[in-house]
Amino acid sequence: MADEFVKGFVILSLGILVWMTFAGWYNTPSFYDTQLVGPNPEDPGTYTTLALVVKEAAFYFGILGAVTFWALIPAGRRVRTHYAENN
């Protein structure tokens, strides 16, 4: 169980780190204004659009990866054990 926790924690940490980096670059208009959750750039270029897609993908990768390793895999193992004991 500790193995799944560490895997989920690493995925969550890396996903949020990538998200924070790209959000700091593209969604922080100024130091004294809204930070990390500001609006996306008005007219993004090709690389900016790609970076915004990577930012969103990293966020969802972190959240879904953590949920997978912390909830879905242990629940699947418990269900498999339950069915193996009852059959």
Per-residue pLDDT of the chain (87 residues; tens, 9 = 90+): 788 999 999 999 999 999 999 999 999 988 888 888 889 999 999 999 999 999 999 999 999 999 999 999 999 999 999 999 987
Q: What is the pLDDT of residue 33?
A: 83
Residue whose tokens read 């799944």: 4
Number of domains in the chain: 1
Query: CA-based angle 15:16:17, to the nearest 5?
Result: 90
Decide if 4 contacts 66 (C-beta within 8 A).
no
Q: What is the pLDDT of residue 47?
A: 96
Task: Give the number of other CB atoms < 10 A from CB of residue 8.
Answer: 19
* Residue ranges making up the domain that contains 72: 2-86
pTM for the model: 0.84
